[in-house]
Amino acid sequence: MVTAMKESKGDKIFLGSVYIYLCIALIVVLYPLVYILSASISSPQQVNSGAMWLFPKEITWAGYQLVFENPKIWNGYLNTIVYTGIGTLLNLAVTLPAAYALSRSDLVGRQLFLGFILFTMFFTGGLVPTYLVVRNLGLINTMGALILPVAASVWNIIVARTFFQTTIPKELQEAAYMDGCTNLKLFVRIILPLSAPIIAVMALFYGVSHWNSYFPALIYLNDESKYPLQMVLRQILVLQEMTAETTGAGISGDAARAMNSKAETASLIKYGVIVVSTLPIVVLYPFLQRYFVQGVMIGSVKG
């Protein structure tokens, strides 16, 4: 019979400290989420005055009603889905073959190619040269301006390369060659089906990056009908801040009341859009969590 070891006083103090630390970390992580959810269904007067600091007060669904009735938000939502879907597929189409090629020891000039790729990880052209390249390619105000410049991430290529090196045995490749399999068939029919964890991780990394991206749209897009959801959300936040500053600048009477009403409406939409915009990622993550943990551990620790 196995008897449990008796914990010493020092062990109990350490374990208690760990639980206290975890509780504090949990509160720090959960509070912003609970606050955003509560603010999205609370009266804007209660939120702006600070009376609502955790749980909802004077519950109202007007914010979500305004979100669902706003055509700009739905258009931004659709644009973001398109940018994220197409961008993630392009990222995977570039990252996975590049990572697999760099993982092959028989690739001629592998170290040279790897050196060039790593160089771009530490030294970039900067915003102005990148903008000039995008403009000269005729990509301004197009979908390509948001997708092509970020078609691959050096860090993700290195992680995927390490996964292929540590997970796919060379004997499997040699057996495929003996059966008459070409490099393309080997990659498509054997390597990719065995690489579900790293594919899920790369899709999650790239997808979240595209979903949360707004700065490229701010730089390259001029047509509001092509704005992603994050740009629409940014406009709402900027509108609220400008309205708040204008209201506090000495305006009185009907104009001040109109400004306050506009600020409250912007506040309602702001929290509602934040919830709606993050909901797809929150819903998708539990299905990819198993692959996420497995792929990151294999791809980054063993190498």
Say how far apart CA 290 and CA 237 lie, in whole Å: 35
Q: What is the pLDDT of residue 39?
A: 86
Q: What is the pLDDT of residue 247?
A: 47
Q: What is the pLDDT of residue 87?
A: 94
pLDDT one-digit tens code per residue, 55-69: 888 888 887 888 888
Contacts of 22 (CB under 8 A, 6+ apart): none
User: How many CA atoms within 13 Å lie on the side-chain side of 24?
Assistant: 6
- The string of DSSP codes covering 16-72 is HHHHHHHHHHHHHHHHHHHHHHHHHTS-HHHHHHT--SSS-SS---HHHHHHHH-HH
Q: What is the pLDDT of residue 291?
A: 66
Catalogue all structural domains in the chain, each as residue range(s) with its CATH number.
Answer: 17-60 (no CATH), 62-300 (1.10.3720.10)
- Number of other CB atoms surrounding residue 223 within 10 Å: 8
Q: What is the pLDDT of residue 294?
A: 62
User: Which segments of the chain have a pLDDT < 70?
Assistant: 1-5, 239-265, 291-303
Q: What is the pLDDT of residue 49?
A: 79
Q: Taking a C-beta distance cutoff of 8 angstroms, is the pair 217, 228 a contact?
A: yes
Tell me the pTM: 0.78
CA separation (Å) from 37 to 1, 57, 109, 146, 273?
Answer: 51, 12, 53, 30, 11
pLDDT one-digit tens code per residue, 260-287: 566 666 777 778 888 888 888 778 777 7
Say how far apart CA 156 and CA 137 lie, in whole Å: 26
